[in-house]
Amino acid sequence: MRREPVALAAWWLVTLVAQSASFAIQWWVLNAMRAMPITDNSLSAQTGRQVIQTLGSSLAGVPLVWAAAAILTAAQCRATLQHDGRGSVFPRIGADEWRMALVSLILAGILVPLVLVITMIVAVAIGLLTTKAHVSPLMVNLAPFAVLAPFAILACFIVGRLSLASALTLECRRINVFGSWGLTRGQSWKLFAIYLVLGLAWIASYLAIAWVWSTAKLNAPSDARGLPDLHRMISFGGLAALGAGALLSTISATILTCPGAKLYEQLNTRAEDVF
């Protein structure tokens, strides 16, 4: 990646194009849904329409962003692992990208239900604790953290153990999600420390971009309700905000994918030395 610094600009451009196109698609779907005939104007029907419009427009742009993320992940893993000549670190569409897309779907299929189950358990537990008449106000305030902590640790443990799936799949040239679990055996604390530092780096990047955003007084490309607004998007502030958002997404992907791929390279080399 040091030999191809312009690759970072290419990654940002792919992210910017994907997010902008996704935003435009969301705006088009939202307006198409708003143009549908209204047969029931009751309050419940209005609320239901707003929920459907928000969810529908939000989901419409997901496939494009998901595809861009797969392209970006493959390019970043290649930049860290292969160095197979000029152009290897640049975004492209091929077998690697399809495998990255499938890996992300598999991981989502594992992690999303896990998060939903944890959320339900935590909500029920907090509800039971807070409905007790003898529970002190301090306990009510601490209950969410006390209940959430062990589940959050479990979720972080699983995410960490599966975090090398993309790099492993790219190197093996076949889908290999659970190989990451075996490769990271005994590395839980190391993974925790690495991803903690990466998380702090992401927070610093977010705060820096947010400071520039607020200082420049950029307008978000959405209305007061968070729904896409094309007129705001094509303004200077809206375009600048999209660029800043794409930059943050690119930084996030880079600080998560590249160090993970490097860690995979180290662990894989150590495993080969053992055998």
**3 burial type by CB count under 10 A (0-12 exposed, 13-18 middle, 19+ buried):** exposed
Q: What percent of the chain has pLDDT over 70?
A: 70
* pLDDT tens sequence across 56-74: 666 777 888 888 889 999 9
Q: What is the mean pLDDT of residues 240-258?
A: 83
Neighbour count for residue 62 (Cβ, 10 Å): 12
For the chain, the distance separating the N- and C-terminal CA atoms, rounded to the nearest angstrom, is 30
Single-letter residue type at 188: S
| Owner of token pair 């692992």 | 81
Whether 204 and 212 have beta carbons less than 8 Å apart is answered as no
The pLDDT assigned to 99 comes to 92
Task: Give exposure, 164-202, as e/b (b: 16+ Cβ within 10 Å).
Answer: bbbbbbbbeeebbbebbeebbeebeeebeebbeebeebb
185 pLDDT more than 80: yes
> Where residue 271 falls among pLDDT bands split at 50, 70, 90?
very low
User: Which of the pair, 113 or 271, is modelled with greater confidence?
Assistant: 113
- DSSP codes of every residue in 65-123: HHHHHHHHHHHHHHHHHT--STTTTS---SHHHHHHHHHHHHHHHHHHHHHHHHHHHHH
**224 burial type by CB count under 10 A (0-12 exposed, 13-18 middle, 19+ buried):** exposed
The pLDDT assigned to 101 comes to 92
Q: Measured in whole angstroms, how far is the alpha carbon of residue 31 from the centre of its chain?
A: 26
* pLDDT tens sequence across 127-150: 776 666 566 666 666 766 777 778
Q: Angle at Cα 34 formed by Cα 32 and Cα 36, nearest 5°?
A: 75
190 pLDDT more than 70: yes
The pLDDT assigned to 274 comes to 37
Q: What is the mean pLDDT of residues 163-183?
A: 88
Summary mean pLDDT of the chain: 77
The pLDDT assigned to 219 comes to 58
273 pLDDT more than 60: no
Q: What is the mean pLDDT of residues 208-232?
A: 63
**150 burial type by CB count under 10 A (0-12 exposed, 13-18 middle, 19+ buried):** exposed
* pLDDT tens sequence across 201-217: 888 877 877 777 666 55
The pLDDT assigned to 253 comes to 84
Q: Angle at Cα 95 formed by Cα 91 and Cα 96, nearest 5°?
A: 55
